[in-house]
A and B are shown apart, each in its own frame.
Chain A
Amino acid sequence: MRALWARALWANVEEVFREAAARFTLVAYFALSTVFILLFAAAVNLDVVDGALAGAKLFGKEIEMRGGKVEIDKLVLGFEMGFSAVLYLVGTFLAIFATAHLVPRLQEKGTIDLYLSRPIGRVPLLLSRYAGGLLLAAFNVAYLMVSIWLIVGIKTGVWNERFLFGGGIILFAIATLLAFAFLVGVVTSSTAVSIMTSYGLFFMASILTAHEKIAAAMSMDWGASLVHAGYWVLPKTAQLGQAIVVLVSGGTGMHRPPPPVDPWAVYGTTGLFGLLALTWACWLFSRKDF
């Protein structure tokens, strides 16, 4: 019985990839990532002498070397910290854009009948779509991270493995936002609404990082409470970006150490939000009349 289910679910994951390939989502997804990688490769020109940086150009512009030479390890660390934060934004936004349609398309009239008439439970069906979407995003994040890491490594001879681990946090953020996109997709059956609300959630949650300041500026107590509650309930998108930088840097920045990250406040609440969103999506999907 388990083998039958595994076949059915794997066929569904495969279908997600075939759909992405056929609708040029996959091509566009990887093409955009490749453009980003090529731009990066072309933009960075480093002149390394005896393990130290004698000269550097970024997008053709000379970088000022304070006191002559800069240790190449530190420069690479700085590069990778900055690019991990950029990749966090690019990777997350591309992933949501490429996968938010999975539920609305599934729920289309004439399509949902074909899927639900197979001997797969509704929850496994939705979760296999989620797994397919996440796998697609994981391939892209891996492609972006490994390519940048290779380019930096080849150009400088410095290989910072922590940069690669940053991909795990990006994927964690994608998993959380994709769960939310699935929830919106189940309720509205609209790809556009799924994408817009997921991006909105990302920015809203980032703004709420300053919840203390926002709440202090509010005249009404209930408003302040709402802001605090929003901060604790919503995923910590800004802090996740910060966590990636901390992870890549190994806890030390070039000029000043980044602030520490509270694991529960960042990963715990974000993970819980994603889990609840996905559970809610599954519950609604399992009760829906088509």
Chain B
Amino acid sequence: MASALSVHALEKVFRNGFSRREIRALSGIDFEVAPGEVFGLLGPNGAGKTTTVKILLGLTFPTKGEARILGLSARSPESRRRTGYLPEGHRFPGYLTARQTLSIFGRMAGLSRGEVEQRIPALLSRVRLPEWADVKVKKFSKGMTQRLGLAAALIHKPEVLLLDEPTDGVDPVGRREIRDLLREEAARGTAILLNSHLLSEIELTCDRVTVLRKGSVAATGTIKDLTGASALGVSSQVRYRMVAYGMTPSLVGGIQQLDASIAQTNGHFELSVRDYAHLNQVIDRLRAEGAELRELTPLRSSLEDVFVDLVKTGDLDSPEVKPS
């Protein structure tokens, strides 16, 4: 399937002030987003996330490489005809009402006045702002402004959505509603690029993620791949939560002699083994010694663990997980 959004060997070097000192924001990143996919862009401050999004929208020009939306170069204004964007810290004119905001930005996207007027009520309902249609934006709370921003990004029924911190300032109920809305859009075939610091949001919403670090791709893959890869990649071990009866000190010592790591924590054991064969070797030993296995659960790293590992270690040669 052709990608809705693609970035290839993208580089950006900013030149600062009169000294023309170079600041490398992106060092040749690659990723693709398919139609109907929710793709997360992660990274610490200064990793290059916003620069990437800005290049995709033609706000900033790349030094090298290519960014394409629906097959069109991101430099072309036409690529934005079917793209919706919610910038971080956006400032809609406070003197406009919600209806006027959607009308002006809808028409700037090429819609007729009639089309815009027809879409506004449904869209405002969708973002839970129907009763605020004729209230000036300056009266809106941060969360409401954010929801209006989402409505403005959706007014022209885009096929690609670029969202920068979409749930910033939104209450937990609103967050869930936004997540649901994004899922609905994705189900309609819209490709969504989500840029957020909230890892839990990314974990709950995204099909795949790319972690950027210092302008390079540190890892790309599904959440499952990344968290699994972290468990394997960082410690070269698979970890399990184990509950067993009859675990004597001599048995624990015996397991350690098998090159497995075992430690008692809060009434259960944490077991680390190399692979399944090694795991079965440990289980055979347990049963041979008369211990009774009650529970064995693989421990996965959270996305936060992966993120911290990748950012902290800064090891760009760590195993990259290919898109599945």
Contacts and interface: CB of A to CB of B under 8 A. Distances in A.
Given A19-B95, A290-B59, A11 B107 contact: yes
B205 interface: no
Interface in B108-146: 108-113
A142 interface: no
B78 A23 contact: no
Given A116-B59, A117-B59, A119-B78, A110 B89 contact: yes
Contact of B80 (A15, A19, A109, A117): A117
B14 interface: yes
Size class of the contact patch on chain A: 20 to 34
B77 interface: yes
A120 B61 contact: no
Given A15-B93, A22-B95, A114 B105 contact: yes
Contacts, number: 94
B57 interface: yes
Interface in A1-30: 4-5, 7-8, 10-12, 14-15, 18-19, 21-23
A110 B90 contact: yes
Contacts of A15: 93, 104
Given A109-B89, A111-B91, A11 B104 contact: yes
A227 to B, nearest CB: 29
Given A7-B112, A18-B96, A113 B57 contact: yes
A93 interface: no
B54 interface: yes
Given A23-B95, A110-B90, A112-B59, A18 B107 contact: no
B174 interface: no
Contacts of A111: 90-91, 93
Interface residues of B, number: 35
Given A119-B77, A287-B61, A289-B60, A114 B92 contact: yes
A289 B58 CA distance: 9
Interface string A104-124: 000011111111111111000
Contacts of A116: 57-59
A183 B278 CA distance: 71
A102 B123 CA distance: 30
Contact of B77 (A108, A120, A290): A120
A23 B94 CA distance: 10
B78 A7 contact: no
Given A117-B59, A290-B59, A18 B87 contact: no
Given A8-B107, A117-B59, A119-B78, 17 more contacts: A11-B103, A15-B93, A18-B104, A22-B95, A22-B96, A111-B90, A111-B91, A111-B93, A112-B59, A116-B57, A117-B57, A117-B83, A118-B109, A119-B77, A120-B108, A121-B77, A290-B59
Interface of B: 14, 54, 57-61, 77-81, 83, 85, 87, 89-93, 95-96, 100, 103-105, 107-113, 152, 162
